[in-house]
Structure 1
Amino acid sequence: MSEPIMRSPLHALGLASQARPIDDSHGVWANEIPHLGYISLRGDSRDQAFVSGASKALGVPLPLDPCTLARSESVTVLWLSPDEWMIISAPGRVNALRASLEQALAGVRSQVVDNSGGYTQIFLGGTHALDVLRHVSVYDFESLQPGRVVGTTFGKSSAYAFQQGDGYRLIVRRSFADYIWRYLVRATTPYGLGIANVAPD
């Protein structure tokens, strides 16, 4: 009996084989960053026991200000609402991270759920990345500063977006990943699209 194979929602597009280092040959660069870990954390941000326990388990202060994020070398924590956060990590750390959160929050009203199979991440960069975002969403991306995250429309779907490194990161639901990628490709037509070789970081 063969072992199960983990495939990203965009694996059929063969993006990995098309990827190359970013240069000036295209106005927009994009690619999927597959197989990351996504943990949903729910709790009361007014409960000091919850905030301190989660912060200790994550190794980074839980972001409490609306639409902010916190990062360390191993995790990115996105504020989604007053009682919900998304934790992004390397896939190999998900189980240990979930167990650490559950242990730190034992006896505290909270919920920790591994949603790794439900999301994927898309990198978007290049000199015209901001122009593309203007095409695909109603949000004013010029106001999206580093350290902030926004949940917004993306065509007829939605995504969470934030700046990181030399571009933007889009967190999208697995079931809409193909639609969002094709919508993104169409929006890049005036600028030229290259498939970027990007590290998961």
Structure 2
Amino acid sequence: MADTALISPLAHAAGRLAAATRGSGGAIRLAELPFLTQLNVRFDAKGPAAEAIGLALGLQLPLQPNTVVRAGELTAVWLGPDEWLLVDRPGGERELESRIREAAGAEPVSVTDVSAQRTTLLVTGPRAVDLLAHGCALDLHPRAFGPGRCAQTTLGRTQVVLVARDEPRAGFWVLVRSSFAGYLADWLLDAATEYI
């Protein structure tokens, strides 16, 4: 019988990420948040389904570009005028998709499970902004890219979705395609050597 256990894209790097975190003396923290539910959702934000979907999710999807809305464990990331990425606890894909489709009724909506497409790196600590700034062209200062902000950008030549977390000192989520996760982890570890 085949082994069906899931292996995270960065399982091989977990020890090195933890060692960098310990070695930095708290200046940075690097960790993978594997298997988060990630649904790409598209519909007309001004259409009749918008309010119903918001009620079903327990949050209104962000309409302002490059913003994030959070309710409990569910995070909605703005990707475009009619496109969002919903990030939730691991294993919640089917239930979340069902809630969206039921709320939309007959209105057109696209819900695509992209959970296996990306993994999430958590980058926190007092030097997190400095670390990310080594390879990201965005102004990551809190007044420009503070809590509740997001962007599709590049980090170390890798396309990512960068999310500034909304809790104090919560750092950033870096959502990266699984096939590039190993490269990005190596890049982050190399860039972090000055803090270790």
Paired residues in the alignment total 191
Distance change in 2, residues 1:53/1:23 (3 Å): farther
Partner of residue 160, structure 2: 159
Partner of residue 181, structure 1: 185
Distance 2:159 2:135 in 1: 10
Partner of residue 197, structure 1: none
Partner of residue 138, structure 2: 139
Higher RCO structure (Cα 8 Å, ≥6 apart): 1
Q: Which amino acid aligns with 1:110?
A: V
Distance 1:117 1:36 in 2: 9
SS of the residue aligned with 1:107? Answer: coil
Q: Which amino acid aligns with 1:133?
A: L
Q: Which amino acid aligns with 1:137?
A: C
SS of the residue aligned with 1:41? Answer: strand
Distance change in 2, residues 1:21/1:158 (3 Å): closer
SS of the residue aligned with 1:76? Answer: strand
Q: Which runs of 5+ in 2 are unaligned?
A: none
CA shift, 1:50, in A, is 2.5
Give the TM-score, by structure 1 length.
Answer: 0.87
Once the two structures are superposed, what CA deviation does each residue of 1:124-146 show, in whole Å capped at 9, x if it has no partner?
Answer: 11221111111011111111011
Distance change in 2, residues 1:183/1:23 (3 Å): closer
Distance 1:24 1:78 in 2: 30
CA contact (8 A) 1:26 1:191 kept: no
Q: CA RMSD in A?
A: 2.1
SS of the residue aligned with 1:127? Answer: coil
Q: Which runs of 5+ in 1 are unaligned?
A: 193-201
Q: Which is further off, 180-189 or 165-174?
A: 165-174
Distance change in 2, residues 1:63/1:32 (3 Å): same
Distance 2:20 2:130 in 1: 22
Q: Which amino acid aligns with 2:89?
A: A
Distance change in 2, residues 1:156/1:168 (3 Å): same
Distance change in 2, residues 1:23/1:179 (3 Å): closer
Distance change in 2, residues 1:79/1:140 (3 Å): same
Q: Which amino acid aligns with 1:123?
A: L
Partner of residue 190, structure 1: 194
Distance 1:81 1:122 in 2: 22
CA shift, 1:64, in A, is 0.8
Distance change in 2, residues 1:158/1:18 (3 Å): same
Distance change in 2, residues 1:176/1:67 (3 Å): same
Distance change in 2, residues 1:12/1:25 (3 Å): same
CA shift, 1:112, in A, is 0.6
